[in-house]
Chain A
């Protein structure tokens, strides 16, 4: 059943770096690196050697925090290899929904029947991108505002130095949630479009990656998790999230709490009142601060695998206990706190 071997894990890992559909594809890492250097040299007026030293600083890349990222990266690949066969597939969802649509629309109306193929492809690609980006935003938002999910998402936010690989610093529970999210979004998009547009539904790709994913990544998406605070002009930041804006999301500053949940578009954050512009001369401290009372919201900066993998379960039991006791302090405080941050 499960074909787990070292070769498999190796292929999984190498595929991540060689596949243009993935964030850490070498091409994207390279483009991020170049963008960071250019920014440092031309915007910050640093010399090339200082720029290189800053970008490649072992203080970032070989910190306790980053080292734990690397370990988590490898361990999670193994966990995902074991788990993925058990997760529901997009084909199951897509075909199930496809048949369900037939029950609702027995005559299967084909829409935009006279439109050219490229237009249908463009519409599908755009709709899928918007739906996917919104779903990422929304699930991410839930990870922050729902205490039980926050317990797991803290694994990601406990990173104190950010590198492109921090994107993989996630708790397996969160991985499963995000994987299911992606499965549902893909399954639903495919079913709807194939049903209403038939054979013409198509995805516009560049190097086999969704064109939007490609553009987002080639323009330095990997700098979101870095110490290079590239900001966009304010008007642009209202639509697209800059690396600096995502770094604000990781900031320990109380003013930055629960801001900028989005991935590509910041429109969602605008609508859900969690938008925050980048700041001039931004210099942030990354990590987590206690959100509520310390008893239930553990802040452990040890970066041990034990803390990162097991602590969330302990937190969840504490939350459950608090909920079951007469005074669910956690929830009351959490909600107040949330309102407070939104209003400021």
Chain B
């Protein structure tokens, strides 16, 4: 490319008629050519080194090392970045999920107490159940308190009514209810109603805690001029300003490693799965251990990476970049109150984060509606052939749990989804459609599920397609994993472009 440009630039003056007509001697021409060549090579070297430096700077951008800007700060802290409370909650969520699959099918008070300790407890001595060291993937911390003390999930759970779940319960009540059921279910699975509590708890908590806290609180209410101003510490005695810390908390809830911009989506997926060969990529500071505070990938960042691995989206980097740019903006204010203009710019970054984050969850809803659709297809075929549908039904429940959890998560964001939420909840229902064409309809006074007759399995398949359509129409999702209408796209491609309008 560059050589072509050079050739063109050098040749143009001598090909142009007017210069040839001016009868320039060959010697002069040569001299001129050499001068132009020198000039060009010099500018190309300077230009490309600038580009290289820029690229290097970009790839080196991390959510770390932003200096302390708080006026009159006399302590020893070098950086004002702090989101260990959020990292703790990521670990609490991971551990809770892992525990939710530990039931044996019998009532188990001990397990219930343990689950609650990770959900609403704040006590010392809680071990990190996930992520733990796995082979060569060595993790620095082993106790929850090693990251940050006295943290829980319940206190940060969305307090509104969750209309997509039976019983008219608030966010924390839904999670507690599910935890109770999970403690007595076999590996978190209730075949009678098709619930996989491990998935339901995990995906709903991701929305009701992380997503809600970030987009509805830290990137929303805390960004007003009055709340948490930048010329004051976040709270008394803190070494970070109000805006610095609000922004950090938002980033912590997203769950991306600080050095995400130097990682590909596939690497982030491998890090979340603690693959041995991803260790070097995760250990950004090369201290031989993965720090759960800054180097691990969790929850939403993982699902952003999953969508991006399709190559059709770029959520992970877009969101991380917006977080870093916003943090830079706050840092650049040097401990002064943000001007209206600065705040507007910050809100624009927040908006980028929110819209893309919402899409990440919508992509997951799309994906699991697709897997549920495929499961029903398999289920029907197996039943028609009198096969054993047990295992397929188990998968159906698992994928449905992810679908339901993400669909509830989607409704805990900053915006009231209105009609979209109503449609989503009605299409999915309170439970998967069961083999006798029934669905959970509510919870009785003893906390047991009631059922009523529902759609057929075929009808429910259409619901799944409509859920996918709703995600496309409302959120314009692009990765579209497990697209139920993929065949339409395939055939369309095969038929070739209709653009050429040749006629006879």
Which of A59-67, A192-200, A278-286, A303-311 contacts the other chain? A192-200
Contact of A108 among B458, B487, B492, B496 (CB under 8 A): B458
| A170 B488 Cβ-Cβ under 8 A | no
A263 interface residue per 8 A CB criterion: yes
Describe A's contact surface by its main secondary structure: helix
Q: How many residues of B contact A (CB 8 A)?
A: 25
CA of A128 to CA of B491, assembled, Å: 11
Which of A27-35, A201-209, A294-302 contacts the other chain? A201-209
- For A16-42 the 0/1 string (1 means CB < 8 A from B) is 100101110000000000000000000
CA of A203 to CA of B494, assembled, Å: 7
Q: Tell me the smallest distance from the CB of A288 to a CB of chain B, in Å.
A: 15
Number of residue pairs A-B, CB distance < 8 angstroms: 102
| A106 B491 Cβ-Cβ under 8 A | no
B447 interface residue per 8 A CB criterion: no
CA of A246 to CA of B462, assembled, Å: 47
Residues of chain B lying within 8 A (CB to CB) of residue A263: 504
Q: Which residue of B lies closest to A200 (CB)?
A: B487
Chain B residues 454-469 with CB under 8 Å of chain A are 456, 458-459, 461-462, 465-466, 469
Residues of chain A lying within 8 A (CB to CB) of residue B385: none
Q: Which residue of A lies closest to B458 (CB)?
A: A107
| A16 B500 Cβ-Cβ under 8 A | yes
| B458 A202 Cβ-Cβ under 8 A | no
| A194 B487 Cβ-Cβ under 8 A | yes
Q: Tell me the smallest distance from the CB of A301 to a CB of chain B, in Å.
A: 21
B26 interface residue per 8 A CB criterion: no
CA of A308 to CA of B491, assembled, Å: 36
Residues of chain A lying within 8 A (CB to CB) of residue B503: 136, 140, 143, 156, 167, 170, 174-175, 178
Can you show 15 pairs from A to B with CB atoms below 8 A apart? A21-B497, A84-B499, A91-B492, A95-B469, A99-B466, A102-B465, A140-B504, A168-B502, A186-B495, A186-B498, A191-B488, A194-B491, A205-B494, A224-B504, A263-B504
Q: Which residue of B lies closest to A179 (CB)?
A: B501
CA of A156 to CA of B504, assembled, Å: 8
CA of A102 to CA of B461, assembled, Å: 11
B485 interface residue per 8 A CB criterion: yes
Q: Tell me the smallest distance from the CB of B465 to a CB of chain A, in Å.
A: 8
A276 interface residue per 8 A CB criterion: no
Q: Other CB < 8 Å A-B pairs besides A210-B494, A246-B504, 7 of them?
A: A19-B496, A80-B500, A91-B488, A174-B503, A194-B485, A201-B491, A202-B491
Residues of chain A lying within 8 A (CB to CB) of residue B459: 106-107
Contact of B495 among A108, A143, A203 (CB under 8 A): A203
Residues of B at the A interface (CB closer than 8 Å) are 456, 458-459, 461-462, 465-466, 469, 485, 487-489, 491-492, 494-504
Q: Tell me the smallest distance from the CB of B296 to a CB of chain A, in Å.
A: 39
Chain A residues 81-99 with CB under 8 Å of chain B are 84, 90-91, 94-95, 98-99
Q: Tell me the smallest distance from the CB of B388 to a CB of chain A, in Å.
A: 22
Q: How many residues of A contact B (CB 8 A)?
A: 52
List 8 tightest A-B contacts by C-beta distance, closest first. Answer: A21-B496, A175-B501, A182-B498, A178-B501, A179-B501, A203-B494, A167-B502, A183-B498
Contact of A128 among B466, B489, B495 (CB under 8 A): B495
Q: Tell me the smallest distance from the CB of B274 to a CB of chain A, in Å.
A: 36
Chain A residues 131-172 with CB under 8 Å of chain B are 136, 140, 143, 156, 167-168, 170
Known: A106-B459, A108-B458, A174-B503. A98 touches B498 (CB 8 A): no
Q: Tell me the smallest distance from the CB of B502 to a CB of chain A, in Å.
A: 5
Residues of chain B lying within 8 A (CB to CB) of residue A182: 498, 501
Residues of A at the B interface (CB closer than 8 Å) are 16, 19, 21-23, 80, 84, 90-91, 94-95, 98-99, 102, 106-108, 128, 136, 140, 143, 156, 167-168, 170, 174-179, 182-183, 186, 190-191, 193-194, 198-199, 201-203, 205, 208-210, 224-225, 246, 249, 263
CA of A19 to CA of B494, assembled, Å: 12
| B501 A80 Cβ-Cβ under 8 A | yes
Q: Tell me the smallest distance from the CB of A207 to a CB of chain B, in Å.
A: 12
Q: Tell me the smallest distance from the CB of B153 to a CB of chain A, in Å.
A: 39
CA of A19 to CA of B504, assembled, Å: 19
Q: Which residue of A lies closest to B502 (CB)?
A: A167
Known: A167-B502, A168-B502. A95 touches B491 (CB 8 A): no
Q: Tell me the smallest distance from the CB of A16 to a CB of chain B, in Å.
A: 7
| A186 B504 Cβ-Cβ under 8 A | no
